[in-house]
A and B are shown apart, each in its own frame.
Chain A
Amino acid sequence: MKTYLLKRFLLVPVVLAGITFLVFLLIWALPGDPSLALVGERAKAATVESIRRELGVDRPFLEQYLGYLKLIMHGNLGRSFYTNRSVADDLIDKLPHTLALAASAMALAVPVGVSLGLFMALGKRRFERFLNVITMAGVSLPVFWVGLILMLLISVKARLLPPSGTGGFRYIILPAITLAVPAFASIARVTKTVAMDVLNQPFMLTARAKGLRRLRVVFTHLLKNTLIPVVTVIGLDFGSYLNGAVLTETIFGWDGVGRFAMEGIIKRDYPVVMGTVLVGTLAFVGINLIVDLCYAVMDPRVKKG
């Protein structure tokens, strides 16, 4: 296990270097020019040129990329081309919001999703069709639709919660529910499939046969064996939420990393795009590491292997 972890840690810089290179290449290859977002509708060619020079975007690709690597080696993410603010400061400002939103969404989605999945696997067949429709809808409904309907019903009609804004508990509820809808549904569906598979395993019969109570069988034998694939799904969802949920953040005016990255891409604001990608990659790698650790905790076979 230790060597495994060590290997994983050693891989992190390689992954980061690979990702930054790829993303740098991608935005460099995109049509469009960062200086154009800066100069407005009326600029002299000389002004555009001098701004391109100042930003360094007129230099060859490799030189720009190496320059960026040098910058991040010094722990600096640079300044936004557009707002001239420090990218690191902006990210530090927004990360807690994204973290809070992702965590709240998962806090809703995981318990609801897992219990619903178990219920679907164990429960009476009579609810099956209904629950299938619910989870299918959850997976397929577009986020912006769910978000706007929630806003209309809860904020505008019932006036229970504020429609938008980045703030405390009252502000996070609607975006968290919106984000939790597809997550809970996919978790429920995966849980159900895996649980039904596990239920057919011989050891389940053994457990019942040796006289264990039904609940105990569910919680120790079934749950434990079901959770491994479920944790993978949770990890993937959580990882992507930590990279920002662009639509949810936009609808609810939530000041998170997703919107920040999106605006950076639209304006070809290279330092912003690179900064968010870097932090997002770190988050994803970190979550995957935690997921792997969870495997080891839940399944002794992983630890030995």
Chain B
Amino acid sequence: MFRPTVKSFLLFVLTGLLLAGGCMPARERLPGYLSLRLKADPTSLDPALITDVTSGSIAAKLFNGLVKMDESLRIVPDLASGWTISDDRCTYVFRLRGDVTFPDGRGMTSQDILYSFERVLDPAVRSPNTWVFDRVAKMEAENDLTFKITLTKPFSPFLGLLTMPAAYVVDRHAVEALGPDFGAAPVGTGPFQLVQWLHNRMLRLSARKDYFDGSPKLKGITYRVIPEDLTAIAEFEIGNLDVIGIPSPEYRRFMDSSKWRPLVVSLKGLNTYYLGMNCLKYPFNNSKVRLALAYAIDRKKILETFYEGRGVPAAGPVPPALRSWPAPELVPFDPKLAVQLMREAGLPEGSEFSLYVTSEQETLDLAEIIQDYLAGIGLKINIRQLEWSAYKAAINRGEADLFWLSWWADYPDAENFLFPTFHSSNLGAGGNRTRYINDKLDGLIEAGRSSASDKSWKEYKKAEYLIADEAPWVFFWHRTDYAVRQPWVKGFRLYPIYTVDKGLVVETIPMHHAIDSGFGFEPGGG
């Protein structure tokens, strides 16, 4: 009686195995392809919808904008071969290259640019990036190779904004044919095109031979989605991945290894880590209390010990690479002065405050260190750990007294670390999560935004010094990123911002066949 059940069960199991085995044969690693890791599947590769770095870094290889950023963060031509800016700094006229094509061979014209930009502003597209075109009054395709943008007011960071994915040019025909599925099958003018995307598993890009800026040295790029850090390291160590970013807990392992250390690359990132205070709430509406917190925490020591020196101390919000003026003075560690400032502000000892953090272990460890330092000046800190989505909602609502957060560049301009984060028009979700409101500062930032791009730094300098004095953030550090490559990867480097990397220089040299003992394969599709 029991037998038929056993049989059908085994049959079931076998079918399962065959299903898995039959349609997904293991495939040899493709020569000439660079194999990279993604921590998560890209949300969407539709430039209008991209807000995360993962998706943005892939989109940078599939699309082009009018202008792009070079390695030293200068704005250089991309689809536009040149541009002129009117004397009132409100009208930008771009001359387009005539040799740009989409993968189907259709030539790109100013109509495609107009279509792409207007699409971002179309409410039906639900783009979160409409702010990129906030100051645009009018866009015109004057003729096939001339595109004109008129701004409402002079706006010095404007060209920088045009380097972002939101301003990439999409293939109108593909968008119209695919509708909402365009994000999964994107088509642009970039050096690579997407040939395969097995969601949550892998993406494959292949190089375009007819790319207008010279075809890439690689034949293509394979991105593998590997959520777990340790798994990614295992894949890297046996040579299945060509480059990986080094996760913080694994930093020592690579730096202490004589094999890997010479292959580690690093880059001072465009980011600022900070302890935010709710400046609308008592007692953090008083700059003395805010400064007291900064004096009370030995950030340099935390950076050197807990973070193993993987960063530079921050004196203000602007990362050093974007600052063309001398940095404000670092607030030293001085708990006595902190206590004095607290007394002056009338804040009694033993006051209790909440510190909101996300649920990663590293963040919690850091929060406990901060808690300990603040206990040293007699403040009681209650750490509240929230899951990411709840954390974000709470911070945007202004629920927390204190919170731990970082700000990363959208585009490399000092303005990107001042306007969204400290201007009163961006309270909450807009970026100013400390809810700092200061008319004088608003004025300085606005003046910087509307002056000529080579002069705006003077206003930004005043703004940053004012922020350093007022201390709505306790500035911690600018984090350095580390990655490690295989010996057979040539020309790899980290870029200050992901949009710079079009994947044109990096290449793999065939030596890995020798090292590899025939183990190089990866999950293919079928």
Interface status of B319 (Cβ within 8 A of chain A): no
For A159, give its contact among B43, B52, B238, B430 (CB under 8 Å).
B238
Is A96 a contact partner of B522 (Cβ separation < 8 A)?
A: no
Q: A252-281 interface mask toward B, CB cutoff 8 Å, 1 = contact, 0 = none?
A: 110100011001001110000000000000
Is A40 a contact partner of B235 (Cβ separation < 8 A)?
A: no
Is A33 a contact partner of B523 (Cβ separation < 8 A)?
A: no
Q: Chain B residues with Cβ under 8 A from A260's Cβ? A: 200
Interface status of B420 (Cβ within 8 A of chain A): yes
Interface status of B1 (Cβ within 8 A of chain A): yes
Is B2 a contact partner of A155 (Cβ separation < 8 A)?
A: no
For B389, give its contact among A37, A42, A43, A164 (CB under 8 Å).
A37
Is A170 a contact partner of B429 (Cβ separation < 8 A)?
A: no
Interface status of A90 (Cβ within 8 A of chain B): yes
Is B226 a contact partner of A99 (Cβ separation < 8 A)?
A: no
Q: Chain B residues with Cβ under 8 A from A172's Cβ? A: 17, 20-21
- Rounded to whole angstroms, the CA-CA distance of A93 and B16 in the bound complex is 14
Q: Most chain-A Cβ atoms within 10 A of its Cβ — which of B10, B20, B226, B428?
A: B20
For B226, give its contact among A93, A253, A267 (CB under 8 Å).
A253
- Rounded to whole angstroms, the CA-CA distance of A267 and B40 in the bound complex is 13
What's the minimum C-beta distance from A142 to chain B, rounded to whole angstroms?
14
Interface status of B137 (Cβ within 8 A of chain A): no
Interface status of B431 (Cβ within 8 A of chain A): yes
Is A252 a contact partner of B231 (Cβ separation < 8 A)?
A: yes
Interface status of B77 (Cβ within 8 A of chain A): no
Interface status of B505 (Cβ within 8 A of chain A): no
Q: Chain A residues with Cβ under 8 A from B228's Cβ? A: 164, 250-251, 253
Instruction: Give the residues from 67 to 119 in chain A that come closer than 8 angstroms, CB to CB, to chain B.
Output: 79, 82-85, 90, 93-94, 96-97, 99-104, 106-107
Q: Most chain-A Cβ atoms within 10 A of its Cβ — which of B24, B394, B408?
A: B24
Interface status of B512 (Cβ within 8 A of chain A): no
Is B429 a contact partner of A227 (Cβ separation < 8 A)?
A: no
Residue of chain A at shortest CB distance from B408? A41
Which of A47-55, A124-132, A197-205 is near enough to bind chain B?
Answer: A47-55
Q: Chain B residues with Cβ under 8 A from A148's Cβ? A: 230
Interface status of A1 (Cβ within 8 A of chain B): no
Q: B166-177 interface mask toward A, CB cutoff 8 Å, 1 = contact, 0 = none?
A: 000000000000
Is B390 a contact partner of A31 (Cβ separation < 8 A)?
A: yes
For B431, give its contact among A42, A84, A263 (CB under 8 Å).
A42
Instruction: Give the residues from 141 to 199 in chain A that come closer than 8 angstroms, CB to CB, to chain B.
Output: 148, 151-152, 155-156, 159, 162-172
What's the minimum C-beta distance from A127 to chain B, rounded to whole angstroms?
26
Is A259 a contact partner of B200 (Cβ separation < 8 A)?
A: yes
Is B183 a contact partner of A84 (Cβ separation < 8 A)?
A: yes
- Rounded to whole angstroms, the CA-CA distance of A60 and B17 in the bound complex is 45
Residue of chain B at shortest CB distance from A37? B389
Is A30 a contact partner of B390 (Cβ separation < 8 A)?
A: yes
Is A32 a contact partner of B198 (Cβ separation < 8 A)?
A: no
Is A165 a contact partner of B20 (Cβ separation < 8 A)?
A: no
- Rounded to whole angstroms, the CA-CA distance of A97 and B228 in the bound complex is 18
Residue of chain B at shortest CB distance from A90? B199
Q: B431-462 interface mask toward A, CB cutoff 8 Å, 1 = contact, 0 = none?
A: 10000000000000000000000000000000
What's the minimum C-beta distance from A97 to chain B, rounded to whole angstroms?
7
Q: Which 7 A-B pairs have the closest CB atoms?
A: A40-B51, A32-B389, A100-B20, A103-B16, A165-B523, A31-B390, A167-B523
- 9 A-B contact pairs sorted by A residue (CB < 8 Å): A33-B389, A82-B43, A83-B44, A83-B184, A103-B12, A164-B226, A165-B201, A170-B26, A250-B227
Beyond the given pairs A51-B128, A104-B20, A168-B25, 6 more chain A to chain B contacts, judged by CB atoms under 8 angstroms and listed by A's residue number, are A36-B392, A39-B51, A41-B431, A167-B24, A167-B524, A169-B17
